[in-house]
Copies of this chain bind each other. A is one copy, B any other.
Amino acid sequence: MNYQKIPDETIKRMPMYLRAFSMLKTENRDSISSSQLAERLGMSPPQIRKDLSYFGAFGTRGVGYPVASTADQIRGILKLDVTQKAVLVGAGRLGAAIAEYPGFASFGFDIAAIFDNDPSKIGTKIGKNVVEDIAKIDTIKSRDIHLAILAIPADAAQPVVDGLADCCIKGILNLSACHLAVPKSIKVVTIDLAMELGTLPYYM
């Protein structure tokens, strides 16, 4: 299927729509209007209609969006209709929390490997994974892993990222509070909790 160029801001919101439609499915809802959906998500109905229209006009006036097929369609667009394996780098407190974060499975993500450089952590078990030695990170090349999650100190991040770039990694969720230099073939999403919190006092 061919789609027109979709803005990054719309792509950012698609997982939120997917989660909403998945939840509606478990509630046995057949359809939902853009205004009902807007109320659930704290958004405006026109924004939702515009976002979803990028993927074809699959809502019907007076009826709304069919829940099951819209969920499937969004999942397909986001390539979340297949299991996506991810490697977690960093088995500290934050890494351990991430490894057991229940939300990943609902989007079809599988934390398939965990690496660290701390000898006291290597060999220990976190969830289903045994923590591996970061020196052996290049083994992920043959393990069909194309996503990485970084939960390591900022000053250790860039060398790790350089290694990941050689290992067929195409997307990085970066929780190390720093900007990463990556080749154009790699997409990075950085989350810095302090920066997120940092916007709030302005509005108080």
Contacts and interface: CB of A to CB of B under 8 A. Distances in A.
A41 interface: yes
For A107, A146, A173, A194, the residue with the greatest tally of chain B CB atoms inside 10 Å of its CB is: A194
B179 A200 contact: no
A204 B171 contact: yes
Contacts of A170: 200, 203-204
A18 B93 CA distance: 27
Interface range for A: 35 or more
Contact of A197 (B100, B149, B196): B149
A79 B202 contact: yes
Interface stretch (A9-17, A60-68, A117-125, A158-166): A9-17
A146 B200 CA distance: 10
A97 interface: yes
A159 to B, nearest CB: 18
Given A14-B198, A173-B200, 14 more contacts: A15-B198, A15-B199, A93-B97, A94-B101, A98-B193, A107-B194, A147-B197, A147-B200, A170-B203, A171-B201, A171-B203, A171-B204, A172-B200, A191-B193
